[in-house]
Structure 1
Amino acid sequence: MALSWLDEPTVEALRVGLRKVAPELAASTIVTRGLEAGDDPQWSGASAVVDGRVVVKFAWAEPPARRICREARLVEALRAVTPGLPLPVVVVASRDPAMLVTRRVAAIPFFDVRRLIAPADREIAARDIATVLAGLHDPRVLAAVGPLPSPAPPASTEILRSRLGAFLRPDQWEQMAAWCDWADRVLASPGRTVLVHGDFHGDNHLWDAASRRLSLVVDWETAGPGEPEFDLRCLPGDCGIELFLATVVHYERLSGTTLNVDRIMAWHLRTVLGDALWRAEAGVSLPDHRTPPEWVDDLNGRFAALGTFGWGERPAHPTPGFQ
């Protein structure tokens, strides 16, 4: 079947597509998210809650249309291979136009539930996250789902060194450059290869607010081969160091494999600084409405907490990290 996409980013265009894909939904209430026209066709896609009971992903350009179709195929393949994963339930998937309709779940993003996770809840929350990632990273899963492109890596250290300094305090540039040198050494050799989600941040794992348990993992568009540490790279910032390290412990117990926390932190460094860079250059607010220098200060605190650096130090030659 030919691949197509919506003519424009409007609710009416979405209704036209729904009349073809799921006609019973076409006249329903539609609440959109991310429905904004832009110059880059890579990001010409959005989602909507329709009739309060399903989530529809759709596109108005070819690149996101292909990602939607890829996600639909992958979710169905994963459901067959790893039935224990908390995956979206596909109601209908289409190539003409590209559209993925999944059942809506009464759950909220981790970012909205993390303040509710008390110290007494930490081990359960860590085990929930570790169970999802360890199950996904089983080598048999990648072999079963077949060839996929790898997720795009975060900004390179070369780009960070050359462009991020303009947005930092003068005293932070040397520290940032030292971190980049350290990350280059840590990631110089490749890690093992598994299937990774590719974008496992706090908006993409949804939780039940009452029980504080993980309910659903969404947005599988960029899943593909990568190293396990790449999938944990958002956890130090999203979860805090204590929950992050508890997750590492549970992951290793469940998977029978060892994670390299230095590699996680190297990917974390590149992800955080890369996000700060593109947002600063584009004039887009950082997600927490803070500044790149404040994010660098946060990174310093995380490294210090792990023992990668001493508290408040900015060494020219970073030392090996958490063991």
Structure 2
Amino acid sequence: MPDLSDLPIVPRELVNKDEPTWWSSSAVLGNRYFVKFAWSRPAALRLAHEIAVLDALSREPAVPYLPKVVASSTDPLLLVTELVPGRSLFEIIDSIDRDKAGRQLAHFLCSLHQSLDRVGDVPPAPLQPATTDTLRDQFGKWVRPEQRETVIRWCDWTDSVLSTPRPPVLVHADLHGGNQIWYGDQLRAIVDLETAGLAEPEYDLRALPGTGPGVELVTATMHHYREDTGHTLDPARVMAWHLRTALGDALWRSEAGVPLPDHRTPPEWIDDLSARFTSLKL
């Protein structure tokens, strides 16, 4: 794209890290485009994977809400997509209609989950690194004494719920609110498909129970998913993955001395999880 070569480029601050897996970054080009690049082999492989997935899923009939690819190359490695206005789901969740938002998310997920035959061979999606064994052994020191038994009971329940695997589909695998761009109550784009791969459908909903107060967004998404596909998502499996995600995130942040995303405490997160289980009658 030589016509883009003279546009001003504003890179994000590059932070040197010891782990080459994360040696990647992005930049804004001419206030119109978004550029992703990498400078280590592990990070480059993830970006090359995203380029291939976007290429396959952008062909007609295209999966909705994907970022519009302007240019891509694997030699040199670069991905340029159209910059769209909007804010993350985290920023607008309190001001939008959860049912309308769930309908749009379900539309994306239904199309994505039915697209496996379009992308060829894809690897399994990277699952949460914190296993239930790790959570049993290490999470107790970060919560109140009376909550430790609850965490162990939840981990036992999670192992039981997930003991029987489900047929895999193509999942985004990192569908948290920061990877969603919303303009008002309209979903504009879902980004960052570097870890897209094989997993059960419920894995893609694992971040939704913790997005905003209550569980209205995840229940609305599951409802519209069933209406669109005829396939019922299991709320127990969604919450089992959500448990591992939420507690795993709280564990590594607490051990690293990094504040939790909402600047609260692990005991408060346990209280929130209890409320979500109750709301979903689990």
1:229 deviation in Å? 0.3
Q: Report SS of the residue matched to 2:177.
A: coil
Cα RMSD for the two superposed structures: 1.6
1:171-250 to structure 2, matched below 5 A, reads: 171-209=146-184, 212-239=185-212, 240-250=214-224
Q: 1:278 matched to which residue of 2?
A: 252
**Is the 8 Å Cα contact of residues 49 and 56 (structure 1) preserved in structure 2?**
yes
Q: Cα gap change, 1:304/1:93 in structure 2, threshold over 3 Å: closer, same or farther?
A: same
1:46 deviation in Å? 1.5
Correspondent of 2:12 among 32, 55, 61: 32
1:300 deviation in Å? 1.0
Q: 1:143 matched to which residue of 2?
A: 117
Q: 1:46 matched to which residue of 2?
A: 25
Whether 1:99 and 2:78 are equivalent positions in the alignment is: yes
CA distance in 2, matches of 1:107, 1:162: 41
Which protein has the larger Cα radius of gyration, Structure 1 or Structure 2? 1
Q: 1:311 matched to which residue of 2?
A: none
TM-score (norm 1): 0.83
Correspondent of 1:163 among 138, 145, 161: 138
Correspondent of 1:69 among 48, 52, 57: 48
**Is the 8 Å Cα contact of residues 193 and 227 (structure 1) preserved in structure 2?**
yes
Q: Deviations over 1:29-64 (max 9, x none)?
A: 40416x311111111112222221111111121111
Q: Report SS of the residue matched to 1:270.
A: helix
CA distance in 2, matches of 1:48, 1:198: 23
1:23 deviation in Å? 7.8
Higher relative contact order, chain-length normalized (CA < 8 Å, sep 6+): 2
CA distance in 1, matches of 2:105, 2:250: 25
Q: Report SS of the residue matched to 1:203.
A: helix
Q: Cα gap change, 1:253/1:24 in structure 2, threshold over 3 Å: closer, same or farther?
A: closer
Q: Cα gap change, 1:307/1:48 in structure 2, threshold over 3 Å: closer, same or farther?
A: same
Aligned residue-pair number: 280
1:134 deviation in Å? 1.1
1:256-295 to structure 2, matched below 5 A, reads: 256-295=230-269
CA distance in 2, matches of 1:145, 1:82: 13
Return 21-30 or 159-168, whichever deviates more: 21-30
Whether 1:255 and 2:234 are equivalent positions in the alignment is: no
**Is the 8 Å Cα contact of residues 25 and 50 (structure 1) preserved in structure 2?**
no
Q: Deviations over 1:38-95 (max 9, x none)?
A: 1111111122222211111111211111111110111010011541411111122222
Q: Report SS of the residue matched to 2:58.
A: helix
CA distance in 1, matches of 2:98, 2:241: 24
Return 277-286 or 177-186, whichever deviates more: 277-286
CA distance in 1, matches of 2:79, 2:174: 18
Structure 2 unaligned regions, length at least 5: none
Whether 1:110 and 2:110 are equivalent positions in the alignment is: no
Q: 2:110 matched to which residue of 1?
A: 134
Q: Cα gap change, 1:180/1:57 in structure 2, threshold over 3 Å: closer, same or farther?
A: same
Q: Report SS of the residue matched to 1:80.
A: coil
> Which residue identity is paired with 1:238?
T
Q: Report SS of the residue matched to 1:243.
A: helix
1:27 deviation in Å? 5.9
- Equivalent pairs: percent with the same residue? 47
1:222 deviation in Å? 0.3
After the TM superposition, which parts of structure 1 deviate over 4 Å for at least 4 consecutive aligned residues?
none
TM-score (norm 2): 0.94
Structure 1 unaligned regions, length at least 5: 1-20, 309-323
